[in-house]
Amino acid sequence: MLKQYLVLTLLSIATLAHGNDIAKEPDTLTNWFQNLSVAKEKVTQLQLYVQDILTGPTPTTIPVANANSTFTSPTLFGLVAVLDDPVRIAPSPDSEIVARARGFFAYSSLEEISIHMTFNLVFTSGEYNGSALSLVGHNPYLHEFRELPVVGGSGAFRLARGVALVRTVLLNATTGDAFFQYNVTVLHY
């Protein structure tokens, strides 16, 4: 009996671990949640580089709204932007794209330059293709290190939680174009 249970448990863990795809029918998700009781959480670490392109023919981050006072504010308070940044495996425009950083942010501090970000890392290739991580947090990007909470995910990252430690590794002072290093650590099943 115990032996049978163990085998079943191992099977379930294995099945859950491979359920990387986005569910294509409601039952898949129901089963996935039922299997959670025997699933083990694991820690995944990813090192990614988000490329922010503000200028040129195809900017990937564009301002979409502001208040009348935004451009007289020393902290750009009220400026809202949308991003769809390529996410690469190295801080170079020639390196492979594995995801997109899609979402938006707003300058949300009256006291320092700081943005509130809400975006997804949407994986477009490799092991996590089709899965996404959702990040929400406060990013005072002139600080050397910033922590962005990972609050959830989809596909391989269902119920994920964790933290991304972020640092600016390249900044073109003329254009504002930049590469941000994201060391993401997440707990997921």
Ligand X SMILES: *[C@@H]1O[C@H](CO)[C@@H](O)[C@H](O)[C@H]1NC(C)=O
Q: Which is nearer to ligand X, 91 or 109 (CB)?
A: 91
The length of the chain, given as a count of residues: 189
Q: According to the binding rule CB under 6 A, does residue 10 interact with ligand X?
A: no
Q: Does 9 bind ligand X (CB under 6 A)?
A: no
What is the closest distance, in whole angstroms, from the C-beta atom of residue 135 to ligand X in the complex?
Answer: 14
| Nearest-angstrom CA–CA distance, 157 and 53 | 27
Selected from 6, 7, 10, 28, the binder of ligand X by CB under 6 A is 28
Verify binding: residue 172, ligand X, rule CB under 6 A. Answer: yes
| 117-120 CB contacts, 8 Å cutoff, 24+ apart | 117/148, 119/83
Subset of 115-134 contacting ligand X (CB under 6 A): 124-125, 129-130
According to DSSP, the residues that pair with 93 across neighbouring strands are none
- Which of 83/178 has CB closer to ligand X? 178
Helical H segments across 36-105, by residue range: none
Strands (E), the chain: 42-52, 61-65, 80-88, 97-107, 115-123, 132-139, 146-154, 161-171, 178-188
Min dist CB 155 to ligand X, Å, is 11
- Contacts to ligand X from residues 55-94, by CB under 6 A: 68
111: DSSP letter: S
Residues in contact with ligand X, counted by CB under 6 A, come to a total of: 23
- Given 6, 7, 10, 11, the residue binding ligand X (CB under 6 A): 11
User: Is-contact 58 175, C-beta < 8 A?
Assistant: no
Positions in the binding site for ligand X (CB under 6 A): 11-12, 15-16, 19, 28, 31-32, 35, 47, 68, 124-125, 129-130, 165-167, 172, 174-175, 181, 183
